[in-house]
């Protein structure tokens, strides 16, 4: 595997992003070009992203770090199609999200993106089984028992399927959330501080799980984290500050 | 999957579910009981009029089929002329008064002999017929409802009557007094409100009606055979409007209950809506969830409402035996459809709000 660090420079020589290409010939699964996201706060425009260029290749596990308010979560929302970019382009598996309508981005999320959130975001009324199956139902191909069983066994949830979120530990809830995210075989898994609400042991379990999904199944993962130790589980780390990716480094 | 999710949602908030179901049930009960009460009164009144046993009812020109509303403008001597017509076997003039003391009742002022000639006479449960000027007959339903017994005094139309007998119900009114007494009380000397006519054979009714029309042109001459079909709310001024207003109020209750319930639900489930959107749920999927949940609540509420209607009917009829409430299957269905339509209308705005929620804002909602 060719591991070469590539730095993209802007015209003023500032670093826009860094990337590692496992296979130089591979097309990126995710690419952003001069991505801007500006929020309107009262009468003031606040730029959360200020021209971000990121490339993620298939099979990568990219961690995005940075201080609070630097635009990490906004970047995740925009590349996941939850929010619309103000300027620039987002290409996800060849689809330009910035040219898409709300309905088209909904379809793209359904078929190509899996989300994992810090607060797990499981539906409290449903047990683990139905939380996972819900994703398959929304995906539109109905319940796929084979894929369901594979994912449930992979995440060690077999004995917890009939428990509701309130009956599960934080680590178990996050495993259910991961199962829900990958049961539809998304092209990319976007995790927003997945260990932010977990203790150290549960965090390690979840991170190992994500690394296993990446290494063993080739699942592309983009993870936001505050925790430098968590970032070591990825294959590459991007650092953000003030709405920009300021540097990147390959880890593995 | 949606069905399971809706069921879990409903069970997750039992108090909210119960309040919503009760709100819809009240709506359904109100519709069923209002219509049932008016229909019951109309039908029961019509049956009693038919029960007089006459073939034809003659009233003055432009008189209402609601005999009590038409006063007593006909000279009683018309009875003699009617009696002489072909096919007429018996004629019973009746003076009708409306009593509003201790309830709403129609009082018939009758001539015992002519009334018996048409109706075949009363079946007595107790006592005897009208003899003295202040005698009154009550039917068994009235006697049971008001706990009236033979021999006691009954204050009706501002007059103290002596209860002479209790008769089988179904002969036009629940209270009967001598026509001469009622004429004096109401200042309608030698006047009558209705002439009940018995034909020698029932198939002579049309021919007898033709003769009466020639004798009394412009008078209201109705066969009693189809009387029930005439006793509809549309024939009573204002009743249809009253029913419509009551139904409107019921629908408004259901609409508001569902609207508030689903609106609070949507706010409470903002984060869940964000999760569904992150999973790729479309706007129509979210609308479907909200409306399906509403539909289930409406079905539960309607079922509960129908049960409550039967319970309330039992309570009312037990407390007021003279009251008749008809629960008609078509109105049970209609009230359910009204509840469903009102509920879906009430939930449509919350559903629309839910479907348009920004997923990012929804996901961070606390």
Restricting to A residues 172-231, those with a Cβ less than 8 Å away from any Cβ of B are 180
Distance of CA A252 to CAs A29, A211, A232, B134, Å? Answer: 19, 12, 9, 113
Kindly indicate the confidence band of residue A250, based on its pLDDT and cuts at 50, 70 and 90: low
B315 CB near a chain A CB, below 8 Å? no
Question: Strand, helix or coil at B269?
Answer: coil
Question: DSSP states of A118-183 as a string?
Answer: TT----TTS-HHHHHHHHHHHHTS---HHHHHHHHHHTT-GGGTT--GGGS-HHHHHHHHHHHHHT
Q: Which residue has the higher pLDDT, B238 or B12?
A: B12
Query: Would an 8 Å CB–CB cutoff place A106 in contact with chain B?
Result: yes
In angstroms, the CA B92 to CA B132 distance is 20
Hunting for tokens 């991505």 — which residue is that?
A35
The pLDDT, as a whole number, for residue A13 is 39
Residue A2 pLDDT:
38
Q: By the CB < 8 Å criterion, does A84 face chain B?
A: no
Residue in chain B closest to A113 (alpha carbons) equals: B279
* Residue B17 Cα, gap to closest chain A Cα (Å): 14
Q: CB–CB of A32/A79 below 8 Å?
A: yes
**pTM for the model:** 0.77
Q: Which tokens belong to A87? A: 């300027």
Q: How far apart are the first and last CA of chain A?
A: 11
Of the candidates B96, B106, B98, B89, the one whose C-alpha atom is nearest the C-alpha of residue B45 is B106
Q: Which residues lie across from A224 on neighbouring strands?
A: A64, A192
- CB-CB neighbors (< 8 A) of B277 in chain A: 82, 106, 109
Tens digit of pLDDT for each residue in A176-225?
Answer: 999 999 999 999 999 999 998 888 888 999 999 999 999 988 999 999 99
Q: What local confidence, expressed as pLDDT, does residue B125 receive?
A: 93
Rounded to the nearest integer, the mean pLDDT of chain B is 88
Question: What pLDDT shows up at residue B39?
Answer: 83
pLDDT digits (tens, 9 = 90+) for B241-299: 888 888 888 889 889 999 999 999 999 999 999 999 999 999 999 999 999 999 999 99
* Chain A residues lying within 8 Å of B287, measured CB to CB: none
**Which residue is listed with tokens 């024939």?**
B235
Residue of A nearest to B280 (CA): A110
In chain B, what residues touch A173 (CB-CB under 8 Å)? none
Phi first, then psi, for residue A55 (nearest 5°) are -130, 135
Domain A27-250 has CATH 3.40.50.300: yes
**Do A147 and A136 contact (CB within 8 A), yes or no?**
yes
**pLDDT at position B119:** 87
ipTM of this complex prediction, to 2 decimal places: 0.85
Residue-wise burial string across A22-52, b where 16 or more C-beta atoms lie within 10 A, e elsewhere: beeeeebbbbbbebbbeeeeeeeeebbbbbb
User: For residue B312, what pLDDT is reported?
Assistant: 93
B-chain CB neighbours of A123 within 8 Å are: 5, 272, 275
Contacts of B365 in chain A (CB under 8 A): none
Contact B280 A115 (CB under 8 A): no
Question: Is the CB of residue B71 less than 8 Å away from at least one CB of chain A?
Answer: no
* Residues of B with Cβ-Cβ distance to A80 under 8 angstroms: 278
Residue B285 to residue B307: CA distance in whole angstroms = 33
Closest B-chain CA to A125: B8
A123 in contact with chain B, both atoms CB, cutoff 8 A: yes
Higher-confidence residue: A35 or B62?
A35
Total CB pairs under 8 A between chain A and B: 71
- Which chain A residues contact residue B288 at CB under 8 A? none
Q: How far is CA A199 from the centre of its chain?
A: 21
């Amino acid at each position: 595997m060719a591991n070469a660090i590539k730095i993209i420079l802007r015209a003023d020589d500032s670093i826009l992003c860094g990337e590692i290409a496992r296979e130089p010939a591979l097309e990126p699964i995710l690419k952003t070009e001069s991505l801007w996201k500006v929020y309107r706060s009262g009468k003031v425009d606040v730029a959360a992203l200020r021209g971000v260029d990121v490339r993620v290749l298939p099979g990568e596990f990219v961690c995005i770090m940075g201080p609070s308010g630097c635009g990490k979560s906004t970047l995740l929302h925009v590349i996941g199609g939850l929010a619309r970019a103000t300027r620039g382009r987002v290409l996800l598996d060849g689809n330009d999200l910035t040219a898409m309508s709300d309905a088209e981005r909904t379809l793209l999320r359904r078929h190509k993106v899996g989300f994992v959130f810090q607060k797990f975001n499981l539906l409290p009324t449903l047990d683990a089984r139905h939380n996972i199956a819900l994703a398959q139902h929304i995906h539109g191909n109905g319940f796929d028992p084979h894929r369901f069983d594979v994912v449930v066994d992979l995440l060690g949830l077999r004995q917890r399927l009939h428990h509701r979120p309130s009956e599960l530990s934080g680590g178990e809830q996050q495993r259910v959330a991961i199962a829900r995210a990958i049961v539809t075989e998304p092209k990319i898994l976007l995790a927003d501080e997945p260990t932010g609400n977990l203790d150290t042991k549960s965090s390690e379990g979840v991170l190992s799980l994500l690394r296993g999904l990446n290494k063993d199944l080739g699942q592309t993962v983009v993870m936001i984290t505050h925790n430098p130790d968590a970032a070591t589980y990825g294959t590459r780390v991007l650092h953000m500050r003030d709405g920009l990716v300021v540097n990147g480094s390959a880890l593995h | 999957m949606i069905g399971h999710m809706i069921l879990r949602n409903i069970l997750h908030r039992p108090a909210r579910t119960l309040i919503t179901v009760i709100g819809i049930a009240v709506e359904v009960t109100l519709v069923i009981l209002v219509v049932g009460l008016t229909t019951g009164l109309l039908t029961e009144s019509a049956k009693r009029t038919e029960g007089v046993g006459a073939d034809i009812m003659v009233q003055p020109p432009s008189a209402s089929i609601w005999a009590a509303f038409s006063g007593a403008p006909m000279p009683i001597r018309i009875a003699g002329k009617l009696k002489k017509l072909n096919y007429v076997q018996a004629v019973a003039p009746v003076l009708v008064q409306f009593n509003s003391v201790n309830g709403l009742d129609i009082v018939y002022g009758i001539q015992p002999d002519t009334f018996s000639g048409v109706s075949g006479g009363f079946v007595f449960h107790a006592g005897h017929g009208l003899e003295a000027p202040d005698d009154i007959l009550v039917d068994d339903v009235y006697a049971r409802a008001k706990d009236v017994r033979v021999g006691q005094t009954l204050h009706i139309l501002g007059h103290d009557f002596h209860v002479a007998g209790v008769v089988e119900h179904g002969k036009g009114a629940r209270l009967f007094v001598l026509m001469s007494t009622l004429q004096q009380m109401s200042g309608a000397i030698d006047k009558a409100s209705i002439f009940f006519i018995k034909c020698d054979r029932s198939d002579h009714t049309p021919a007898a009606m033709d003769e009466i029309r020639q004798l009394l042109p412009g008078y209201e001459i109705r066969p009693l055979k189809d009387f029930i079909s005439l006793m509809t709310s549309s024939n009573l001024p204002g009743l249809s409007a009253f029913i419509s207003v009551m139904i409107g109020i019921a629908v408004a209750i259901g609409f508001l209950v569902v609207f508030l319930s689903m609106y609070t639900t949507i706010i409470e489930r903002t984060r869940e809506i964000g999760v569904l959107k992150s999973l790729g749920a479309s706007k129509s999927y979210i609308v479907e969830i909200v409306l399906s949940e509403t539909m289930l609540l409406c079905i539960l509420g309607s079922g509960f409402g129908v049960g409550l209607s039967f319970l309330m009917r039992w309570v009312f009829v037990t407390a007021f035996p003279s009251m008749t409430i008809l629960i008609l299957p078509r109105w049970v269905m209609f009230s359910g459809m009204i509840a469903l339509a009102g509920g879906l209308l009430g939930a449509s705005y919350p559903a629309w709000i839910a479907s348009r929620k920004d997923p990012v804002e929804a996901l961070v909602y606390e």
